[in-house]
Amino acid sequence: MWDLKLNNSCNHRIINEELDIKGVYPNYYAVLKRPVYGNNLQVNILSNDYLFFAKQQEIENSENIQYINYQLQSDRKTLIFNLDGNIQIDIREGVYPLHTYYATYYTRQEDCPKCIYGTNRTNDVYVDVLGRPIITAGLDLLIQRIKKMLITALESNVFDENYGSELPKLIGKTKTVLTLLKAQNTIQQSIEKIQLWQINNYELLSEDEKLIKIDNFQVLPTSNPKVLKFSFEVYTLSGKNINIGVTI
């Protein structure tokens, strides 16, 4: 089997980057992961409540959505909030509901995570110089299938609620023995789903795609106790094996 990649020009737009709000009430600030460029240096900042409301009510007119005011500093990354005593962000303990804030903005090519290798193209579907589609096949396709299964939240696919894993739910969890066991079990369950799918499509797969097992599961050290990092070996029917790393 094989999969297509589509090649598009990148717009360098960062969408709904979750902000880490810092400071002491009411003097809050946040630092974007990348500098703001283009679009008149505009940053759209929304809270989880507004995003939920807009999604549920299918609001098309942006005037119905309340945006949060800010001041962008000269480094093009630092955002200052609650300007002129207008308290729009409050993350003090005891304040309910607890809000999460997101920023959407444009950056430049050299800082863009979608085309960080300087190609100015986003990776989905590629066509070669003769107009033939470039495909992902064999072992590369198997790796893609495993990673996609792991990073897709279970029940998030409306066409197949059983597709995906519980791994995204562990993002931000403190590294404990229980958390690590849950992560290992989740990865193993995802591999079993792929193997079951392969049994039903066995004749369509090459030997490089046919997954035999995973082994050598390891927990890797991290400086942040809420960052989980794993690696494991993938073995195929063709006798090839490759190490896959996962960080959440």
What are the sequence ranges of the domains in the chain?
11-111, 136-247
Q: Considering the chain, what is the average pLDDT of its residues?
A: 81
- 101 and 30 in contact (C-beta within 8 Å)? yes
Q: Torsions phi, psi of 153, nearest 5? A: -65, 135
Mean pLDDT, residues 221-241: 84
Residues 233-244, mean pLDDT to the nearest whole number: 89
- Work out the pLDDT band at 66, boundaries 50, 70, 90: low
Residue 58 pLDDT: 43
Other CB atoms within a 10 A radius of the CB of residue 49 amount to 12
Q: What pLDDT score does 61 carry?
A: 46
For residue 66, give every residue at least 6 positions away whose Cβ sits within 8 Å of its Cβ, in sequence order, or none.
50
Q: What is the mean pLDDT of residues 139-165?
A: 86
* Long-range contacts at 159-165 (CB < 8 A, ≥ 24 apart): 162/193, 163/193, 165/189, 165/190
Query: Yes or no: is domain 136-247 CATH 3.10.450.40?
Result: yes
Which is more confidently placed, 93 or 121?
93
| pLDDT bracket for residue 59 (50, 70, 90) | very low
- Are the C-beta atoms of residues 248 and 228 closer than 8 Å to each other? yes
Confidence at residue 128, expressed as pLDDT on a 0 to 100 scale = 62
Q: What is the pLDDT of residue 36?
A: 95
pLDDT at residue 201 is higher than 70: yes
Backbone angles phi, psi at 200, to 5 degrees: -80, -10
Query: Does 120 have pLDDT greater than 70?
Result: no
Q: Per-residue pLDDT averaged across 105-111, rounded?
A: 89
Q: Residue 35: pLDDT band by 50, 70, 90 thresholds?
A: very high
**Crossing angle for the helix pair 138-151 and 177-200, to the nearest 10 degrees:** 130
The whole model's pTM is what? 0.51
Q: Give the integer Cα–Cα distance in Å for 5 and 127.
A: 8
Does 26 sit behind a cis peptide bond, omega within 30 degrees of 0 on the bond before it? yes
Select the highest-mean-pLDDT range: 52-56, 118-122, 130-134: 130-134
The pLDDT, as a whole number, for residue 219 is 83
* Mean pLDDT calculated for residue range 226-243: 86
Q: How confident is the model at residue 129 (pLDDT cuts 50, 70, 90)?
A: low
Mean pLDDT computed over 43-67: 59
